[in-house]
Amino acid sequence: GSPLFGTLIALLHNGEPVVGVINQPYIRERWTGAKGEPSRFNGREIHTRKCESLKKSAVFSTGGRLMFKNPDDYRRFETLAKPAAVTRFSADCYAYGLLAMGCADIVCEADMKLYDYAALIPVVTGAGGVMTDWNGRALGTDSDGHVLALGDAGLSDAALKELNS
The whole-chain average pLDDT of the chain stands at 95
Residue 3 scores a pLDDT above 80: no
- Listed in sequence order, the residues at least 6 apart from 47 whose beta carbon sits closer than 8 Å to its beta carbon are 38, 101, 102, 127, 128
Q: Give this prediction's pTM.
A: 0.95
Q: Where are the domains of the chain?
A: 7-163
pLDDT of 1 reads 61
Give yes or no for residue 64 having a pLDDT over 80: no
What DSSP character marks residue 140? -
Question: What percentage of the chain exceeds 70 in pLDDT?
Answer: 99
Query: Is pLDDT of 47 > 70?
Result: yes
* CATH fold of the domain at 7-163: D-Maltodextrin-Binding Protein; domain 2 (3.40.190)
* Coil vs helix vs strand at 95: helix
At 73, phi and psi to the nearest 5? -60, -40
**How far is 38 from 163, CA to CA, in rounded Å?**
29
- pLDDT at residue 91 in the model: 84
Q: In what order do the strands lie in the sheet with 130-132?
A: 86-89, 58-61, 106-109, 147-150, 130-132
pLDDT score at 68: 87
For the stretch 87-141, pLDDT in tens is 999 889 999 999 999 999 999 999 999 999 999 999 999 999 999 999 999 999 9
pLDDT of residue 90: 84
